[in-house]
């Protein structure tokens, strides 16, 4: 919730609310939304071991309001969608796919 106090970006606020919803349902938000640094070489290995998740790749030293380098969905260790903009867009895409 700390990023909400650091920026007025609506995308950051939406992402924090979605993570808060995970906590409300007694789930760990880090299991759904995994954040990696662009310079971290081990991120590809960690992503390959992910069964399902949303990945966010950020630049080193990025502020909460800065746009991520890449945001996408991983299924069975494979990036099935990328360059989606932010976490809230992915959640909206998931909800529309269910209807």
Task: Quickly state the pLDDT bin for 33 (edges 50, 70, 90).
Answer: confident
Task: Quickly state the pLDDT bin for 97 (edges 50, 70, 90).
Answer: low
The residue among 73, 63, 89 whose CA lies nearest residue 5 is 63
**Distance of alpha carbon 85 from alpha carbon 68, whole angstroms:** 8
Average pLDDT score over the chain = 80
Q: Is 78 helix (H, G, I), strand (E, B) or coil?
A: strand
**Distance of alpha carbon 62 from alpha carbon 51, whole angstroms:** 27
What is the reported pLDDT for 3?
58
Query: Pairing state of beta strands 70-75 and 52-58?
Result: antiparallel
Q: How many CB atoms lie within 10 A of CB 92?
A: 12
Beta-ladder partners of 79? 74
Highest mean pLDDT range out of 5-14, 42-51, 61-70?
42-51
């Amino acid at each position: 919730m700390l990023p909400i106090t650091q920026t007025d970006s609506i995308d950051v606020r939406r992402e924090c609310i979605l993570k808060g919803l995970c906590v409300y349902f007694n789930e760990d938000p880090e299991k759904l939304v995994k954040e990696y640094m662009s310079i971290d070489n081990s991120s590809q290995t960690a992503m390959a071991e992910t069964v399902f998740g949303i990945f966010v790749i950020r630049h080193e030293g990025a502020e909460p309001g800065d746009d991520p380098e890449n945001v996408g969905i991983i299924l069975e260790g494979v990036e099935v969608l990328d360059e989606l903009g932010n976490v809230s867009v992915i959640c909206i895409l998931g909800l529309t796919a269910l209807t």
